[in-house]
Amino acid sequence: MSVNTYLNERERRILESAVVGIAGAGGLGSNCAMHLVRAGVKKLVIADFDVVGESNLNRQFFFRDQLGRKKVDALAENLRRIEPDLSLDLRDVRLAPDNIDWTFSGCSVIVEAFDSADAKSMLLHALLPLGKPIVSASGIAGWGRSLAIGQRRIGKNLILIGDTSSDVNSGLAPFSPRVGIAAAMEANAVVSLLLGEEI
């Protein structure tokens, strides 16, 4: 039984058997994972080294009573509130070029959900040679301008979501609505990729 009762048998089988990697369990990763589980994805590899902090609660899929807990553990708990029957491979690790390959080697699709530009760039350059589909986000800070959050396919394997300019480092804070839109678009792209349809 899938939490998503609207799936037909083919769609349910594809989404349940896929393994999706989530690199980072912050604003993008926690919300993207939530959407994927609600869509019917049951197998996730989630990697993050951080703990839930006060400043995370404005946009991330965590709760006040989870402050101080490892994000991967708190997110697993929340995702299992939606769908208890999940296969979650939780990696409490700081991703780096020497561990990205084996962390996500079993994944069909990988979601880039980091915060810093350097980390995003490092991850993309480590993942792209693997030849797997990657869904990434750049330019999601601030508020308003919802329709500026675009989606484009770059090369064969990269889907980039965002306006590529709204930068946290330029004084714009990450707010739930815009980060949430991007996280939902990341999940939407993953579902489409898995089902073999237009993103």
Partner 1 sequence: MTIIYQGKPTETDATTVAAFLESRGGFKNAVIEYKGEILAGDAAGAAALEDGAELNAYRIVAGG
Check residue 191 for interaction with partner 1 (CB under 8 A): no
Backbone angles phi and psi of 76, in degrees to 5: -60, -45
| CB atoms inside a 10 Å sphere around CB 184 | 16
Check residue 179 for interaction with partner 1 (CB under 8 A): yes
Residue 143 tokens read as 């508020």
Check residue 193 for interaction with partner 1 (CB under 8 A): no
Helix (H) or strand (E) holding 152: strand 150-154
Q: Which is nearer to partner 1, 149 or 194 (CB)?
A: 149
CA distances from 60 to 27, 71, 73, 76, 90 (A): 4, 10, 14, 13, 17
Stretch near partner 1 under the rule CB under 8 A, chosen from 34-42, 74-82, 98-106, 118-126: 118-126
Check residue 185 for interaction with partner 1 (CB under 8 A): no
Check residue 156 for interaction with partner 1 (CB under 8 A): yes
- Could you tell me the smallest distance in angstroms from the CB atom of residue 12 to partner 1? 30
- Could you tell me the smallest distance in angstroms from the CB atom of residue 184 to partner 1? 14
- Could you tell me the smallest distance in angstroms from the CB atom of residue 8 to partner 1? 33
β partners of residue 158: 134, 154
Stretch near partner 1 under the rule CB under 8 A, chosen from 1-9, 34-42, 77-85, 151-159: 151-159
Please tell me the distance from the alpha carbon of residue 138 to that of residue 124, in angstroms, as a whole number.
12
Q: Are 87 and 55 in contact (CB under 8 A)?
A: no
The type of residue at 76 is A
List the one residue from 21, 40, 139, 180 that touches partner 1 (CB under 8 A): 139
Check residue 98 for interaction with partner 1 (CB under 8 A): no
Q: In what order do the strands lie in the sheet with 43-47?
A: 87-91, 43-47, 19-23, 109-112, 134-137, 158-162, 150-154
Check residue 116 for interaction with partner 1 (CB under 8 A): yes
Given the rule CB under 8 A, which residues bind partner 1?
24, 26-29, 113-118, 120-121, 124-125, 128-129, 136-141, 152, 154-158, 160, 162, 164-170, 172, 174, 179
